[in-house]
Amino acid sequence: MSGNKKAKAKSEQVKGKAKEAVGRAVGNESMEAKGRAEQAKGDARQAKEKAKDVFKH
């Protein structure tokens, strides 16, 4: 199950980065901000999963 959550975190990071790039390319600040927020959410999820792994071992 942890692997699934790690994959979801990575997916959020990738989608956020893409959304931010598209927003920047077309000049849409709202889309760019949403992309950064999605990346941050993925980063937080990834950090949480890494912390869980540290305490498991």
Domain spans, the chain = 2-56
The whole-number pLDDT of residue 3 equals 81
Rounded average pLDDT over 37-49: 94
Average pLDDT value for the chain: 92
pTM: 0.81
**31, burial (CB in 10 Å: exposed 0-12, middle 13-18, buried 19+):** middle
- At 55, which amino acid appears? F
Top-confidence residue, 1 or 29: 29
pLDDT at residue 1 is higher than 50: no
Rounded average pLDDT over 3-32: 94
> Cα separation of 23 and 37, whole Å?
13
